[in-house]
Amino acid sequence: MAQSLATCIAPPGPRLRFLRAEDAPQVLAAFVSDPEMARQGTVRTLVEAEQYVRTVSDPASGAAWALCEGSILVGLIGITIDEQNKSGWFWYWTAVSARGRGWTARAAATVADWALSERGVERLELGHRVNNPASGAVARSAGFVREGTERGKFLIDGARVDVETYGRLASDPWPT
Ligand SMILES: CC(C)(COP(=O)(O)OP(=O)(O)OC[C@H]1O[C@@H](n2cnc3c(N)ncnc32)[C@H](O)[C@@H]1OP(=O)(O)O)[C@@H](O)C(=O)NCCC(=O)NCCS
């Protein structure tokens, strides 16, 4: 499975593999590189990074794929799976140093394709704040279809912020 994904993104580009315990220092580096990362979880120390890695890589909760440059993790694509409904909450982040290269979009498309085929999930869903347009671009590149707006979903710095919701079904057209 990891092999088939790795071959989807051919050398010399980025690679995908499952997240592992020794990735914790790079996870910490990514979180401290951008205050916005605080919305992805609480990772301020190596101990918290190790706990985060354990939590998101637990197969009981889903799957977490490390986006790597060489052997170094620079991003993460995750799915929190609801086995009963054969659905999954899809999420992603990339370290500041590796953004803007189109890697997250390609990795998200590859992992979503995997989830909707080999992993047997039938629906993926995600949401992003309207003031995070890059996340919406990643979602659309990965074949997600915009489904709606959750108005005033979050209270951030005293202002209510809308969230755009997206879904992708196994039967939807696949991204090229
Ligand atoms: C959102 C995030 C994952 C994007 O990562 P990235 O590596 O820069 O994304 P890519 O380089 O793959 O670019 C993907 C698309 O976003 C677009 N994009 C990048 N920055 C943008 C910006 N500031 N405004 C609008 N579009 C932007 C790119 O043009 C590209 O569009 P295309 O596929 O139509 O060409 C990254 O900014 C991040 O990790 N942010 C913090 C965590 C986060 O917000 N995660 C999402 C939670 S919902």
Q: Residue of the nearest CA to atom 31 in ligand 1?
A: 137
Q: Does 30 contact ligand 1 (Cβ within 6 A)?
A: no
Q: Does 93 contact ligand 1 (Cβ within 6 A)?
A: yes
Residue in 135, 154, 165 to alter for ligand 1 test, most ligand atoms within 8 A of Cβ: 135
Domains of the chain, earliest start first = 2-122 (3.40.630.30)
Q: What pLDDT, in 10s, does the model give residues 25-52?
A: 999 999 999 999 999 999 999 999 999 9
DSSP letters for the chain: -HHHHHHHS-TTS-EEEE--GGGHHHHHHHHHT-GGGGGG----SHHHHHHHHHHHT-TTTEEEEEEEETTEEEEEEEEEEETTTTEEEEEEEE-GGGTTSSHHHHHHHHHHHHHTTTT---EEEEEEETT-HHHHHHHHHTT-EEEEEEEEEEEETTEEEEEEEEEEETTSPPP-
Query: What pLDDT is stored for residue 176 in this prediction?
Result: 84
Q: What pLDDT, in 10s, does the model give residues 116-141?
A: 999 999 999 999 999 999 999 999 99
Query: What pLDDT is stored for residue 2 in this prediction?
Result: 47
Q: Does 120 contact ligand 1 (Cβ within 6 A)?
A: no
Q: What pLDDT, in 10s, does the model give residues 50-94?
A: 999 999 999 988 999 999 999 999 999 999 999 999 999 999 999
Q: Does 137 contact ligand 1 (Cβ within 6 A)?
A: yes
